[in-house]
């Protein structure tokens, strides 16, 4: 065997050994180490921020759910055009905003229609919702269209309807919203918010225990 062939085989063997070592390190050891650290320190987040009810996973605290029935608190519209209804499904494959300008006629018309619907659905005997009471997140979607939370103002607007539909005292439903209102992250990032799925699970538990 001449020196040139011997050198070629030596280099090939070194390359294969390096490939094997790097494959094990970056393809097996590193992912397992990262997964182990994530499970040890951030188990809830590493598992997808799952929300459980009745011993089953019913969703994630990071992703909005399909529309809820009239007895429950409603989410933000899912399609960016204010067309959320009790049958609206949040479609992960359709995540995204409308990218329509604020003065776009289609957007303006759909927001006005959604506002009228919110007023009608949440006006109950003894409590009248005015168009000026409707917050922006009640008639527009988030940038992703999958926002799991609503503003405390939108949750408060729905309290009287939810109380009436479930034969609950208004004060009890207000307290439920207050208990599920999260403040700004670290005290200054983002806005106060209410996770709709968690709130509705608590509402269902409350009504089932009545």
Contact 64, 147 (CB under 8 A): yes
Contact 209, 197 (CB under 8 A): no
Q: Where is pLDDT greater, at 97 or 9?
A: 9
Contact 177, 151 (CB under 8 A): no
Report how far residue 67's alpha carbon sits from residue 197's, in angstroms, rounded to the nearest whole number.
10
100-145 pLDDT, tens per residue?
888 888 888 989 999 999 999 999 999 999 999 999 999 988 877 7
Report how far residue 97's alpha carbon sits from residue 147's, in angstroms, rounded to the nearest whole number.
11
181-204 pLDDT, tens per residue?
999 988 888 899 999 999 999 999
Contact 158, 203 (CB under 8 A): no
Could you tell me the pTM of the whole model? Answer: 0.74
């Amino acid at each position: 065997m001449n020196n040139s062939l011997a050198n070629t085989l030596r280099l090939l063997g070194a390359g294969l050994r390096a490939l094997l070592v790097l494959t094990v390190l970056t393809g097996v050891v590193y992912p397992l180490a990262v997964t182990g650290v994530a499970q040890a320190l951030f188990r809830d987040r590493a598992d997808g921020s799952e929300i459980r009810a009745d011993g089953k996973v019913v969703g994630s605290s990071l992703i909005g759910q399909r529309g809820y029935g009239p007895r429950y608190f409603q989410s933000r519209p899912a399609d960016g055009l204010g067309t959320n209804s009790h049958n609206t499904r949040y479609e992960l494959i359709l995540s995204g905003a409308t990218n329509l300008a604020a003065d776009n006629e289609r957007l303006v018309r759909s927001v006005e229609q959604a506002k009228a619907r919110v007023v009608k659905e949440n006006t109950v005997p003894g409590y009248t919702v005015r168009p000026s009471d409707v917050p922006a997140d009640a008639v527009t979607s988030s940038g992703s269209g999958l926002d799991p939370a609503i503003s405390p103002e939108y949750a408060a607007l729905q309290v009287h309807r939810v109380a009436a539909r479930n034969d609950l005292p208004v004060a009890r439903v207000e307290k439920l919203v207050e208990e599920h209102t999260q403040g700004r992250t670290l005290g200054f990032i983002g806005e106060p918010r209410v996770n709709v799925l968690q709130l509705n699970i608590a509402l269902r538990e409350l009504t089932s225990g009545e």
